[in-house]
A and B are shown apart, each in its own frame.
Chain A
Amino acid sequence: MTNSINEISTDAELMFLIGTNTTEAHPVIGYKMRQAARNGCKLVVCDPRHIDLVDEADYWLRQNPGTDIPLLNGLMHIIIKEGLEDKKFIEERTENYEELKAIVENYPPEKVSEITGISVDDLYAVARLYATTDKAMLFYTLGITEHICGTRNVMSCANLAMLTGHLGRAGVGVCPIRGQNNVQGACDQGALPNVYSGYQAVTNPDVKEKFEKAWGRPMPDKVGLKIPEMFEAAHEGTVKSMYILGENPVLTDPDSNHIRGALEKLEFLVVQELFLTETAEYADVILPAASFAECDGTFTNTERRIQRVRKAIEPIPGKANWESICEMFNYMGYPVNYDSPEDIWDEMASLTPSMAGTNYERLDKKGLQWPCPTLDHPGTQFMHAGKFTRGLGLFQPSDHIPPGEMPDEEYPFLLSTGRILHHYNVTTPYSPGIMSIWDREWAEVNPVDAEKLGVVTGDKIKVASRRGEVETAIKVTDRVLPGVIWMSFHYSETPTNAITSPHLDPITGTGEYKVCAVKLAKV
């Protein structure tokens, strides 16, 4: 997030939500949004599904799935036509505005209304509201990124914020709410194929030299493989061994049968996990992992706040994860001598300019938000004040890119997926308490479709795509549009990702979980 969570309560005058079901996927942020809306902060929700926050919203733009770019372009079209853009911000802080203007010119309200299903009046109202509200925060999550055009969707959100000068102050910004406890931190620490910690490029010779000196080994300067490429390479036989820590791609990655095939082809697989997951079944060696309650360390949240994780009990498998990973170094003949996670942090901070001012003592009480380059730096509540990281903000406009697979005669329904309140990806199904009240998939089907299929809430249906099929119980509800079925992905008994789309965003490799074509049949 460019900005911080508490600005929802203290600064924002408008919240613009697109593709985020916040009260279920990020409940505590959702509570704060709901309170802000009730205290007079305006709320716009763009979502095909009737999520809870719709009930608090001033405007609900119920767009057709996969139409984010035309929607955002349409809003920008109106803003420019009505002269509501922030001319000073565009002039001083951005570049490539002319290209943006040329592209959004082709998205007049009538055309956008036809593509998105949103009324022309609502497009005008929301465009004017967002542009003329001084402090408007834009939030998105996977409803924006999990599309074939995910990167372009994100850029379009950024375009809208830059066009209206909604960056670089408190109460504004482009705020992706990160899905997992430490997805921000895993990126920040360089668990990515192209960067070291703090986003230092592996291709930069100075960076390479710094890490070679620090780590005493020659460093590879070729960008590595992203997850989908790793599994492709395993299929092709160029990747032969893997180490997988705390991930269950068989359940969580799209088109899981393809992943299973890749894992089968590996010559040697090590999985470190809490449980014998679907992925761990393919391992040659399984290392037992310690849970968050058993480890010291840090997580970094969605607003870049690094916070302590503290060991409350002894590791159940006998070793904390950092200890077992260190043993792998040692057995491989690369001795490491960290006394504690704090030692590891200090080494990282010494090699990472954006976190050089952090240490365990400083982040003990309230955490610290990076960038935090020096020991006397207070951390950064909001980014891009006065200047973007790259200098000028670059408008990167895009035309509409339809989903990779849309319903057709053979597969007439659109399947969209997401998270539910009671569950979190793949650990909560091991919580006896939570499973005792919410133990199965409840796919959402519109009453119109339910009647045609002859099914009622509680019935079981078969959902099939070109990749496979799963069985699920259904809930008949108008939360979803006719022609759409919505499912979560938390249950091994209904592994929804066996049927999701194989299409990926070409830049990030993110799967298009939000749209694919399926057919439904009563069981």
Chain B
Amino acid sequence: MKMVKLIIDGKEVEVAEGTTIMQAADQAGIEIPRLCYDPELKPLGACRLCVVQVEGNRLFPASCVTPVSPDMVVHTESPDIIEARRTILELLVANHPLDCMTCDKLGDCKLADYCYKYGIKESPFEGEKHAYAIDDSNPFIIRDLNKCILCGACVRACEELTGADNLSYLHRGWNRKATTAGDVDYIDSDSCVFCGQCVAVCPTGALQEKTMVGHGRRWEIDRVKTTCPFCGTGCNFDLAVKDGRVIGVLSNPDSPVNQRRLCIKGRFGWDYIYNEKRLTTPLIKKNGKFEEASWDEAFKLIAQRFTEIKEKYGSESFAALSSARCTNEENYLVQKFTRAVMGNNNVDHCART
């Protein structure tokens, strides 16, 4: 591999040929601001926030799509660059609702983060603002295109991460929007599979997890990394927990199998855990009807009846069905219970059914 030497913010950096300036900066621990860039998606160079100054170059190239060249001298935070970034942000904010006080995405909104960093409170540019209707048509995703900055992350995620090809750009210029095939609401869109990859990559409040709206700001949420309870793929994600209650699922890029990809079940199917039909206490059947019981009563009855039946009919009269839904540790205990306590090998689970 051919290596290239360059200087970024006075620091000498050596990277492989073909590396972009942004990647080179990342490797050197220098973070260049970015909105449309996403490490899992093809670079687009759309938002221009990642512009840098390259000595000898009159224009400010977008660092996410510009490859390094030998002896390049790059400045990522020069006064001119800061001025350019401020203007870019002011233009974005000119047509972006500044309702950050009530926006659930604050804390995980890159636009707000960079406005904070560069001190943008409002836009000097006055003009028309979009007034798109909010798409609240489905149980999972709220779409507010007024907050869309046209970074195209959702379009690329739909195509590159899922391959559903549901989202794309419509119209040009002022009317340009990133939307569903046929520009319909999500619920009416035939090709949407509700995987939520678009939500996971959206850098602003344009796409949000509906279940989380109104239930807590990002900095109030504990994220607990876990493994999905549905199919056998073994996707990881974070359960978002606020005040002891799960309020949503968030992608965790540090997931070995799925990275940020999830499906409708993993991302949105978790709410069964709060279904009001959940059993919350042991039940004992008396005269054909279930009656609530304490754990102690239930265990006593179980021990008594399992023992009686074993003594009367022999240890072969017991069988256990363990579960492909439960943890390894629970399965280990069930087979140990069957073998060590009940004295037979009648233990199985639904691998075969």
Which A residues fall within an 8 A CB radius of B? 5-6, 25-29, 31, 34-35, 38, 56, 177-194, 196-197, 202, 211, 215-220, 222-228, 230, 233-234, 238-247, 249, 252-254, 267-268, 270, 273-276, 280, 283-289, 291-295, 297-303, 305-314, 316-319, 321-322, 324-334, 341, 344-345, 347-348, 365-367, 421-424, 427-428, 430-434, 436-437, 508-511
- Which of B280, B300, B315, B320 meets A331, CB within 8 Å? B300
Q: Is B268's CB under 8 angstroms from A433's CB?
A: yes
Q: Is A299's CB under 8 angstroms from B323's CB?
A: no
Contacting A at CB under 8 A, from B282-314, are 282-285, 290, 293, 295, 298-303, 305-307, 309-310, 312-313
Q: Is A300's CB under 8 angstroms from B328's CB?
A: yes
Q: Is A274's CB under 8 angstroms from B265's CB?
A: no
- The stretch of B10-18, B107-115, B345-353 in contact with A is B345-353
Say yes or no: A508-B325 contact (C-beta < 8 A), given A31-B261, A286-B283, A316-B278: no
- The stretch of B85-93, B175-183, B234-242 in contact with A is B234-242
Q: Is B316's CB under 8 angstroms from A238's CB?
A: yes
Q: Smallest Cβ distance from B189 to chain A, in angstroms?
A: 12
- Which of A183, A228, A268, A366 meets B309, CB within 8 Å? A268
Say yes or no: A183-B345 contact (C-beta < 8 A), given A267-B309, A319-B295: no
Q: Is A433's CB under 8 angstroms from B271's CB?
A: yes
A contact residues around B246 at 8 Å (CB) = 293, 312-313
Q: How far is the CA of A220 from the CA of B275 in the complex (A)?
A: 41
Q: Is A295's CB under 8 angstroms from B261's CB?
A: no
Q: Smallest Cβ distance from A218 to chain B, in angstroms?
A: 8
Q: Is B345's CB under 8 angstroms from A223's CB?
A: yes
B329 at the interface (CB under 8 A from A): yes
B335 at the interface (CB under 8 A from A): yes
Q: Smallest Cβ distance from B165 to chain A, in angstroms?
A: 10
B contact residues around A287 at 8 Å (CB) = 282, 298
Q: How far is the CA of A389 from the CA of B153 in the complex (A)?
A: 45
Say yes or no: A230-B299 contact (C-beta < 8 A), given A286-B282, A292-B226, A428-B272: no
Q: Is B257's CB under 8 angstroms from A5's CB?
A: yes
A contact residues around B338 at 8 Å (CB) = 224
Q: How far is the CA of A110 from the CA of B265 in the complex (A)?
A: 43
Which B residues fall within an 8 A CB radius of A? 138-140, 160-163, 187, 193-195, 211, 222, 224-236, 239, 241, 244-246, 254, 256-258, 261-266, 268-273, 275, 277-285, 290, 293, 295, 298-303, 305-307, 309-310, 312-313, 315-341, 343-353
Q: How far is the CA of A131 from the CA of B162 in the complex (A)?
A: 30
Q: Is A310's CB under 8 angstroms from B224's CB?
A: yes
18 extra A-B contacts, CB within 8 A, seeds A189-B328, A227-B348, A317-B281: A27-B265, A183-B324, A185-B327, A186-B323, A187-B351, A197-B332, A216-B340, A224-B346, A230-B346, A247-B349, A249-B353, A275-B279, A332-B303, A348-B328, A431-B271, A431-B272, A432-B271, A433-B139
Q: Is A224's CB under 8 angstroms from B345's CB?
A: yes
Q: Smallest Cβ distance from B234 to chain A, in angstroms?
A: 2
- Which of B138, B226, B261, B331 meets A186, CB within 8 Å? B331
Q: How many A-B residue pairs have CB under 8 A?
A: 454
> Could you pull out 24 A-B pairs where Cβ atoms are within 8 angstroms?
A28-B233, A28-B262, A180-B324, A185-B324, A191-B334, A217-B340, A228-B353, A241-B305, A241-B318, A246-B323, A276-B279, A285-B302, A286-B283, A292-B227, A298-B227, A301-B232, A305-B256, A308-B226, A326-B333, A341-B329, A421-B263, A422-B265, A423-B265, A424-B269
A contact residues around B340 at 8 Å (CB) = 215-217, 219, 334
- Which of A222, A233, A430 meets B275, CB within 8 Å? A430
A contact residues around B163 at 8 Å (CB) = 31, 34-35, 38, 56
Residue on A nearest B240 in the bound complex, by CB: A312
Q: Smallest Cβ distance from A192 to chain B, in angstroms?
A: 6
B contact residues around A316 at 8 Å (CB) = 273, 278, 280
Residue on B nearest A196 in the bound complex, by CB: B335
Q: Smallest Cβ distance from A67 to chain B, in angstroms?
A: 22
Q: Smallest Cβ distance from B172 to chain A, in angstroms?
A: 26
A contact residues around B322 at 8 Å (CB) = 186, 191, 245-247
Q: How far is the CA of A195 from the CA of B338 in the complex (A)?
A: 12
Q: Is A191's CB under 8 angstroms from B347's CB?
A: yes
Say yes or no: A322-B263 contact (C-beta < 8 A), given A227-B321, A431-B271: no
Q: Is B232's CB under 8 angstroms from A190's CB?
A: no
Which 7 residue pairs spanning A and B have beta carbons closest together?
Answer: A301-B234, A297-B327, A224-B345, A178-B232, A246-B323, A27-B263, A191-B322
B contact residues around A219 at 8 Å (CB) = 339-340
Q: Is A302's CB under 8 angstroms from B195's CB?
A: no
Q: Smallest Cβ distance from B353 to chain A, in angstroms?
A: 5
Q: How far is the CA of A437 from the CA of B271 in the complex (A)?
A: 14
Q: Is A421's CB under 8 angstroms from B264's CB?
A: yes
Q: Is A245's CB under 8 angstroms from B334's CB?
A: yes
Q: Is B233's CB under 8 angstroms from A222's CB?
A: no
Say yes or no: A190-B335 contact (C-beta < 8 A), given A331-B303, A421-B264: yes
Q: Is B341's CB under 8 angstroms from A348's CB?
A: no
Q: Is A421's CB under 8 angstroms from B280's CB?
A: no
Q: Is B309's CB under 8 angstroms from A240's CB?
A: yes
Say yes or no: A26-B256 contact (C-beta < 8 A), given A222-B345, A307-B227, A433-B211: no
Q: Is B327's CB under 8 angstroms from A299's CB?
A: yes
Q: How far is the CA of A309 from the CA of B327 in the complex (A)?
A: 8
Q: Is B290's CB under 8 angstroms from A26's CB?
A: no
Q: Is A242's CB under 8 angstroms from B318's CB?
A: yes
Q: Is B348's CB under 8 angstroms from A191's CB?
A: yes
Q: Smallest Cβ distance from B138 to chain A, in angstroms?
A: 7
Q: Is A433's CB under 8 angstroms from B351's CB?
A: no
B contact residues around A313 at 8 Å (CB) = 241, 244-246
- Which of A184, A252, A434 meets B265, CB within 8 Å? A434
A contact residues around B334 at 8 Å (CB) = 191, 243, 245, 325
Residue on A nearest B319 in the bound complex, by CB: A230
Say yes or no: A424-B230 contact (C-beta < 8 A), given A268-B309, A331-B303, A436-B139: yes
B contact residues around A276 at 8 Å (CB) = 277, 279, 290
Q: How far is the CA of A367 from the CA of B256 in the complex (A)?
A: 8
A contact residues around B271 at 8 Å (CB) = 431-433
Q: How far is the CA of A349 from the CA of B269 in the complex (A)?
A: 32
Q: Is A285's CB under 8 angstroms from B282's CB?
A: yes
B contact residues around A300 at 8 Å (CB) = 234, 328
- Which of B233, B310, B328 meets A5, CB within 8 Å? B233
Q: Is A508's CB under 8 angstroms from B352's CB?
A: yes
Say yes or no: A275-B278 contact (C-beta < 8 A), given A35-B163, A217-B340, A332-B341: yes
